[in-house]
Structure 1
């Protein structure tokens, strides 16, 4: 039975790759799994969502997405057989969470709608069947693995019992940890960037058009749009930015303030319930030669402590690394192997 399923998946996947290779593609069935179908537009919609997150164009991602959709179809169809259901509230929560994240990545709801070439309401309706299917597939997957009770020691013993000559060959893999440190500026070193932001704010207050100044001088991705960030909720921004945006009235221009990204000033364009529509101008911090030298000296001293055994890598990373994404992951990954 499993062999037949794998053969079916392989045939469907090869057929789908042939469709993607064609130069002109209209909406059509690219895969059939049991009683379900996958349309070209389903894959294209997922690809548009991938691009809206700021990812670079990658046609190979469509094939990866198709693989995921094939697996999702199989699991969701088994979920129907096993009477696994998802509620409308679950679907709505998932959709709303996705749209908040996508809006943040795209720079606001209006820009996201332009990117998707449809209203967010229409997008939600288009995605609802897919999300429902995905949630069913996730529940089915959980049902499959919930009774799996295998410890790392058992896995280790199993592989050690195998004849090494019969094991497939894999290229060498390593697990690494990193300590990342970013140059930090002193108050005196930051003054140059704050003065620049203050100068731009003065131009706006003296009558220069906010959007024009943003296009010319702002140093973030919203600059081509006149600094417009669209409507966002408080949790879409760092706390300093959110605090400033939500305490001003429509039309107000903030003083220059600092966040982890640099010096900003913003203008509130409109308030709507728990959302606020703002545009801003950002002057980013740039490392000075002195800040780079200080950082180099500090990381060299940490390196010496680690290599001489006076400080273990875990504590060196968790107490000194500036990368919030990786400073704890190395240790978590190491623990999972034992």
Structure 2
């Protein structure tokens, strides 16, 4: 679950400020504390990105110990980088801090809500300013490192040739549909009768999109039944079979799936292909640059850690 996300965590210096406060200190970097609430905030973001509601998880469950330890190590790295970013201080930094603080305050309905949030997190406004300052300086350091990173044409082509399978697309079809649900909502016979009525309207020239908005019973109805492009293996077999068998611009006959009765309209068919180097070279350049940035930051932090005093209590 925990992936290589150092750079994104390094930039969480402000976003972690208004986590649910817990006083337990889990680490210190040269005397600067890191609290369990910060670990839990990052953990919650990881859960959300994996489609899990943080409210459904007991953060104190021992099975999450390894994950939380990895997160803590990355938060320590963040603090190390922050402390070694002081050389990027500049004359207008106070103005930038004031603007960031003002923007943060404006996210609250009133000053009382803002002050209450500070109290819940055992923070003074000066401590908050210090966190904002760190975040700004970390960004400056990362930007400085990034500006020196170069990706050569040779490196891009080598990556493309070694990973060409990653640049193969599969057959896909852009479809719109109208679905009449079965089950608790209505009987199979009633659903079949209604889909046939809609099909007759289509045959008389009525708009597929307008009929989808009126009759279709899923979220795509608001978009005229548009489901975008689908690929094989991503939908139920009955739906996939009809979608890939229907000609571009044509409307299918009504058919049944486990969800109900459908009518499809095929907008476009795309055959799978291998993307050319020219089509993906910018994507490759960004990927390689990001990897180099991550590696450079890790190396710098590894070197700084040798002289820093780091204590862990988690």
Larger radius of gyration: 2
TM-score of the alignment, normalized to the shorter chain, above 0.5: no
Structure showing greater relative contact order (alpha-carbon pairs closer than 8 Å, 6 or more residues apart)? 2
Q: What band does the TM-score fall into relative to the shorter chain?
A: 0.3 to 0.5
Relative to the length of structure 2, the TM-score reads 0.38
